[in-house]
Amino acid sequence: MKKPNQQFRFIRTLLLSSALLIGLLIQSALANDKVQIDIRYQQATSTAEQQQIEQWLQGLVDSVAHALGRFPLDRVQFTVSKTTGAREPIPWAEIKRGRVEGIRFTVDLRHGEKALQTNWTGYHEIAHLMIPYPGYQDIWLSEGLASYYQQMLRIGSGQLSEQQGWQALYNGFVRGSKDNRNDHLSLQRLSPKLHQTRSFMRVYWSGAAFYLELEALLQQQGDAGLLRRIRAYNDCCRYSGMRVSGEQLIKAIAADRDDVKALYRDHQQRRRLNLPIKTLAYFGVTINDGKVSLNKDEEYRMRRQRLYQIESQWE
Ligand SMILES: [Zn+2]
């Protein structure tokens, strides 16, 4: 897999306001692409801490650029708060949509550099920015994308082995399949009630299963895959802060494919997550006693490779 050719220019600005904010602008110039990364620290943050945070955030942006060939936005803004005593390196995060899109993170740096860089939350959040916000009615589509790509981006950027990434995806499907308290509600009806019902596992991992099934459907028809379609959509139609419904998004990324629209409607009506065993097998992923094993034959390896990076980026 080819790493994007990168040069970074760091511009540090110290903004003295009522709350001391250190704004850091990183210009990341990829081969055909520029993305401005703006980092705001909510507390005094030492140079060593800043370096650790910068490297991590740069890695998140790069993982998306690596998958799509370019980061989908010209500018992204991160706000970072520090905490201590959290059980994980990123105890809280929230997407910020608006004129400049970005992410608010709370981090506990005491878990160390490696734990921060491999943690799923960072990749989950950055994956949200791969598409515009589809709104709460279609939250499964957005959370599904983030849950699916939190694994694929980590494999593609080398933070997880393929084995670890697929195991994490499968474990997610298992958690989703066990969350069947609200099986009187279709995914479409459950989505807007997500916070009342707390059916997070079903909604998130049902969405992830949709994307995996979508990839299989596309590849079976000789299509280059979802990353290529997301890239094309972002190149033609994306601007910061835009909002599209799930229906519009699916139409936009698969205008030519009635089978994709049919798959989307089928998933909307599902009342529980059934483990997508057949779809996993299409990608050479089989399960024994809850453990995944990967078929390393070229045919299967290539099918999986298309999920990590668009083909034109391959070496
Ligand atoms: Zn999310």
Of 97, 128, 159, the last residue of a domain is 128
Distance 104 CA to ligand 1 centre (A): 12
Count of domains for the chain:
2
pLDDT of residue 12: 36
Phi, psi of 6 (to 5 degrees): -125, 145
What's the average model confidence in pLDDT over 1-28? 38
Distance 298 CA to ligand 1 centre (A): 33
What's the average model confidence in pLDDT over 22-49? 72
Task: Extract the runs of DSSP E, i.e. beta strands, from the chain.
Answer: 7-15, 21-30, 33-41, 75-82, 92-96, 102-107, 285-288, 291-294
pLDDT of residue 23: 47
In sequence order, which residues have a C-beta less than 8 Å from that of residue 49 and are 6 or more positions away? Answer: 82, 109
Q: What tens digit of pLDDT does each residue of 197-225 get?
A: 999 999 999 999 999 999 999 999 999 99
Tell me if 74 is assigned to some domain.
yes
Domain of 64, CATH number, reads 3.30.2010
Of 105, 128, 151, the last residue of a domain is 128
Distance 137 CA to ligand 1 centre (A): 14
Mean pLDDT of the chain: 89
pLDDT band at 55 (very low <50, low <70, confident <90, very high): very high
pLDDT of residue 32: 41
141 and 169 in a single domain? The answer is yes
pLDDT of residue 188: 95
Q: Are 141 and 207 in contact (CB under 8 A)?
A: yes
Distance 124 CA to ligand 1 centre (A): 6
Distance 296 CA to ligand 1 centre (A): 31
pLDDT of residue 312: 79
**% of the chain surpassing 70 pLDDT:** 89
What's the average model confidence in pLDDT over 238-247? 88
Distance 142 CA to ligand 1 centre (A): 7
Distance 18 CA to ligand 1 centre (A): 31
Of 102, 128, 154, the last residue of a domain is 128
Domain that holds residue 143: 136-313
142 and 286 in a single domain? The answer is yes
Tell me if 46 is assigned to some domain.
yes
pLDDT band at 1 (very low <50, low <70, confident <90, very high): very low
Q: Are 24 and 39 in contact (CB under 8 A)?
A: yes
pLDDT of residue 193: 94
> Where is 12: in which H helix or E strand?
strand 7-15
Distance 101 CA to ligand 1 centre (A): 14
Q: What tens digit of pLDDT does each residue of 162-211 get?
A: 999 999 999 999 999 999 999 999 999 999 999 999 999 999 999 999 99
260 and 280 in a single domain? The answer is yes
Distance 140 CA to ligand 1 centre (A): 9
**CA 4: distance to chain centroid?**
18
Distance 297 CA to ligand 1 centre (A): 33
